[in-house]
Amino acid sequence: MQPDSGLAVLWTLAVLLLDLVYTALWVPMDVAFCTAQYGNPASACTQSDLAGGALYTMNLIVSFQVGAVWRRLLAAHPINVLRVEQVAQCM
């Protein structure tokens, strides 16, 4: 999937929204109110944590399908090719 395709951009925005909600609201609520029921599969807190974990795992899998093509960038700027080759020689 191209990184500038509509689906990739939509997915990135959806994950950004998930990150904002999960980090700002979801985790603090679980830490504040769900310590007694932590790890109990029947509790809503544990189920919501599992749902968040599933979404992050799905993001990891989808992120491997979105690739950036550096060759276009390097072809557009030949001086960058020289710099990349110099760095490769130093390693």
pLDDT at 73: 54
The pLDDT tens digits of the residues spanning 1-18 come to 777 788 888 988 999 998
In a domain, 30, yes or no: yes
In a domain, 83, yes or no: yes
The domain tally of the chain equals 1
pTM over 0.75: no
Q: Which one-letter DSSP state was computed for residue 48?
A: H
pLDDT at 64: 83
pLDDT at 13: 92
The pLDDT tens digits of the residues spanning 39-91 come to 788 888 888 888 888 998 998 888 888 776 555 555 555 555 555 555 556 55
H-state helical runs in 1-91 = 6-21, 27-33, 44-63, 70-76, 78-90
pLDDT at 69: 57
Rounded Cα–Cα distance for residues 72 and 22 (Å): 35
**Residue numbers of the domain that contains 12:** 6-90
In a domain, 1, yes or no: no
pLDDT at 74: 53
